[in-house]
Amino acid sequence: MEACEIARLLEELLSAALSRTSPRDACRAAAVSAAFGTAADSDAVWACFLPSGRDLPLLADGEQLPCRKKDLFLRLSGSPVLLPGGLLSMWLDRESGAKCYMVSARELSIAWRDTPEHWTWIPLDDSRFSESAELIWVCWLEIRGKIHSKMLSQGSTYTVYIVYKLADDSDGLNFPVNASLSVRGSVMACQVCLQRNPHMIHPEDVVLPHERVDGWMELELGEFVCEAGEDGDVSFGLSETECLNCKSGLILQGIEIRCKN
């Protein structure tokens, strides 16, 4: 009886209701009835989960984006796309539709990055970008980046991660370094450690890295909320400029700003 009553509602009403939910809820609703299935597949619903037309990305590799809104959402939430210039990748969070990004190592400010005896640039098959930065050795480690808040989705909570690997002969990276995140003039700081030391008990307030399913490591630098009407840079980074011990073997892909689920 309930399914029959639902089927009598206009598709436009069902679409209007579903467009006020979330991508996951719309997919679940499709299993309720044939009427919901039709509405949940409509462009009217999925257009509400996509960025506005001017915020949709132009792709760096010439890939043509699908015309159907649901197919477009699934493409942009299925894997990152490289933006023109090749220095940023972007995707949509499948749960919420929020825009997420990775800033490539080339787009970051890295102390001594153009000095070959300190850093070198290498291609890696499993990187999103044409080059990753490999640390030869430095005593002064400083990596900074930023993204404009207008590129993000208002009202979304984001977490910032540095994404990297460690060379087999890495050294000096298993001690705490300083991480910072600046939003609206407010600076949040914490201590992080790029490499777990099996022979050391790290303090509870030191953030440790985790291995991702893609084989890279990620280390959280902080989180923030992109407030409505936000208009300014979100800045982030990490540094060790006090102990000045020799550091080597960091292979940096970039810094990721993704929606917190």
**Residue 103's CB: how many other CB atoms inside 10 A?**
22
* pLDDT at res. 34: 73
* pLDDT at res. 93: 95
Which alpha helices (DSSP H) does the chain contain, by range?
2-7, 11-18, 23-29, 34-40, 43-46, 69-78
- Pairing assessment for the beta strands 186-192 and 206-207 based on DSSP bridges: parallel
Cα–Cα distance for residue pair 226/158, rounded to 1 Å: 7
Ranges of each domain in the chain: 5-81, 99-259
* pLDDT at res. 2: 47
3-state percent breakdown (helix, strand, coil) of the chain, nearest 5:
20, 35, 45
* pLDDT at res. 6: 58
* pLDDT at res. 38: 80
* pLDDT at res. 14: 76
* pLDDT at res. 119: 98
pTM of the model: 0.89
Mean of all residue pLDDT scores within the chain: 89
* pLDDT at res. 106: 98
Cα–Cα distance for residue pair 195/198, rounded to 1 Å: 9
CB distance 192 to 238 below 8 Å: yes
CA angle (186, 211, 253) in 5-degree steps: 65
Q: Which of 87, 62, 57 is nearest to 72 (CA)?
A: 57
CATH 1.10.3720.10 assigned to domain 99-259? The reply is no
Residue 130, exposed/middle/buried by CB under 10 A (0-12, 13-18, 19+)?
middle
Residue 231, exposed/middle/buried by CB under 10 A (0-12, 13-18, 19+)?
exposed
Q: How many residues does the chain have?
A: 261
Give the chain's residues under pLDDT 70: 1-11, 33, 53-55, 57
Q: Which of 31, 57, 26, 53 is nearest to 42 (CA)?
A: 26
Backbone angles phi, psi at 252, to 5 degrees: -100, 120
Backbone angles phi, psi at 79, to 5 degrees: -160, 155
Cβ partners under 8 Å of residue 62, min gap 6: none
